[in-house]
Chains A and B, each alone.
Chain A
Amino acid sequence: MSVLEIWLGILQGFRVTALVTLYGLVFAIPFGLIFGVAQHLTTGPARFVVTSVIEFWRSSAVIILLFVFYYALPLAGLALSAMTVSAMVLGLNIGGYASQAVRAGLQALDRGQKEAGHALGLSRSTILLRIELPQALVAMSPTFINQLIQLVKATSLVSLVTLTDMTFRAKEISQIEYDPVPIYTSLLLAYFIVCYPVALFGRWVERRINPAREARRAV
């Protein structure tokens, strides 16, 4: 089998890798935002509940969650598709990490920012949406790009719950050809080729969304 054929074979799994990543983001972004903000704003029992949910998703092994949700939940009468389970488990796991970046970004802001907002008569929600979050999210954008890259790489686990992603295709080809070295080397490169542009995109985003810092640099 030529290298080109190996590449084309692996590429057949790209669509699933990309889809799991995209659907994963559909879970990760709202979860990270809402729970990060909630952890920042709540106190007492409410904060305990929020923290518990975050810790469940952040501190569980993804591979085991994939198995449990895909193979065990149907026994309880809840059968989710492999794609749904994968997107949800990977997305909420990464979302759990992202929530901590959101919270840390909010907590790192100077107290004076919130006070200035209050002194101007702004509501708490306006302060959050117009003053705190824009600064926190920009400051944390490198972390979010990190987590996006981690999500792309983590999708290789979905081959364990029957999805035909790039890793699954590589395994298939390897079993047929019995020549793992070029195949897995190609797979390694394939993930790099997907992830590196994400990193470049991240740098571009960082420059775009932070006009204040750019302006300062230009002085």
Chain B
Amino acid sequence: MTQTDDKPAVQIASLNKWYGAFHVLKEVNLTIPSGSRVVICGPSGSGKSTLIRCLNGLEAYQQGTVTLGTIELGANARETVLARRQTGMVFQSFNLFPHLTVLSNCTLALRRVLRMPRNEAESLARHFLEKVRIPEQATKYPAQLSGGQQQRVAIARALCMNPRLMLFDEPTSALDPEMVKEVLDVMTGLAHEGMTMICVTHEMGFAREVADQVVFMDQGSIVEQASPVAFFSTPNHPRARSFLNTLLH
């Protein structure tokens, strides 16, 4: 953690991205200090998922810079891979590897990227499976688990790599309502431990409770950035107001 203590965890400067002629991200600037929890929300098509996917190089962008700690993404391939290793990502559709057991899902990167011996990797993986409260599922395959359990495995898989930053791209949107809570509980636990988190979500209760910053996006731009208290009580931008209204009704 020493490296990032003085540097912000994420610094996005003048980020612009186009899909063909469509301008998806427009002059996005955002600084996320180490240890903070940022929730990104906004109507669908506002570019929030695209933005979070730019933060670990899953999406290319045409202009601007993304700096994770001291590493500028895209500057060179080796550093980009290094930055990815320090960044955990949780996807809306879990993206577990269906042909591997839960345990192997968690140990794959430890063994292939960090060259960790099997025993060590497995005990680390079991530690994080315990942390997300599913140690008993270690030898099962993803298809044998519920959606909520799968998403918790995905979180454990990302945590195994000891990330400095966790990215969540609508982690509860594909879940049945009764499973949303178990995933949010794990995320809340992580937040309380001081993990730097960026989360695209429509779970406003989570944002209110856990976030220290809410970022509202509309049509590819950040139109409002505020503390949860300010954002939920007195949103400035008319689009933010109408967005909150539709969510609350």
Contact = CB atoms under 8 A, between A and B. Distances in A.
Interface of A: 110, 112-113, 115-116, 118-123, 126, 130-131, 134-135, 138, 210-213, 215-216, 219
Given A115-B58, A126-B112, A121 B99 contact: no
Interface string B157-176: 11001000000000000000
A120 B109 contact: yes
B111 to A, nearest CB: 10
A216 B142 CA distance: 9
B95 A212 contact: no
B91 interface: yes
B213 interface: no
Given A120-B109, A122-B112, A216 B143 contact: yes
A6 B25 CA distance: 77
A116 B167 CA distance: 12
10 contacts: A110-B95, A115-B58, A116-B154, A118-B56, A119-B58, A119-B158, A120-B157, A135-B99, A211-B141, A212-B143
A211 to B, nearest CB: 7
Contacts of A130: 108, 112
B91 A115 contact: yes
Interface residues of B, number: 30
Contacts of B142: 212
Interface string B80-99: 01101101110101011111
Contact of B140 (A119, A122, A213, A215): A215
Given A112-B91, A115-B58, A115-B91, A121 B141 contact: no
Q: Which of the listed residues A134, A138, A212 has the most CB atoms from chain B within 10 Å of its own CB?
A: A212
B58 A118 contact: yes
B123 interface: no
A119 B98 contact: no
Given A116-B91, A215-B140, A122 B97 contact: no
A116 B112 contact: no
Given A110-B95, A115-B95, A116-B97, A212 B141 contact: yes
Interface in B120-141: 140-141
Contacts of A215: 140-141, 143-144
Contacts of B97: 113, 116, 131, 135
Nearest to A121: B85
Given A126-B112, A215-B144, A118 B84 contact: yes
B141 A119 contact: no
